[in-house]
Amino acid sequence: MTLKKYSGEVSFLTVDAIIVEDDRIVLVRRGNPPFKGMWALPGGFVDYGERVEDAVEREAREETGLMVEHGKLLGVYSKPDRDPRGHTVSVVFVCRPVSGKLEASSDAMEAEWFRLDELPELAFDHAEIICDFINSLKTK
């Protein structure tokens, strides 16, 4: 096997949390570019040495004030153009809130519950991710 020579460019690992309760999902209004002011799933970059399972719980807590428990892996999203800052690969988990009070913090301007059938316009590829989540509910 021949290895491709390292070009110096790398992909960045991120996580996104689908925090769901009944027929509602938590979204945050982004406080920073890209997509500043738009709604998105809570999430962010995985720290070096951090497990993705721990990262999704940390990011959810930092952005929403909720302690969550990660559940099943929904999927891995890796389209090279999904983030205008560069190639990010996101590991998406379905999570359930276990404690805390929903309130925006970290780089989120707002955090709110939305009904799955009344979602606002979303940043990144988060509409596709939520659609995949809704479709996964139909196959149960």
Between strands 39-40 and 24-30, the pairing is: antiparallel
DSSP H helices, 3-125, are 52-64
Block residue for tokens 């962010």: 44
Question: How many Å apart are CA 91 and CA 15, to the nearest integer?
Answer: 5
Q: What Å distances lie between residue 103 and 26, 84, 119, 122, CA to CA? A: 11, 27, 18, 19
Coil, strand or helix: which one is 7?
A: coil
Question: How many Å apart are CA 49 and CA 71, to the nearest integer?
Answer: 21
Active-site residue set: 110
Q: What is the DSSP letter of 117?
A: T
Question: How is residue 124 written in tokens?
Answer: 């990144």
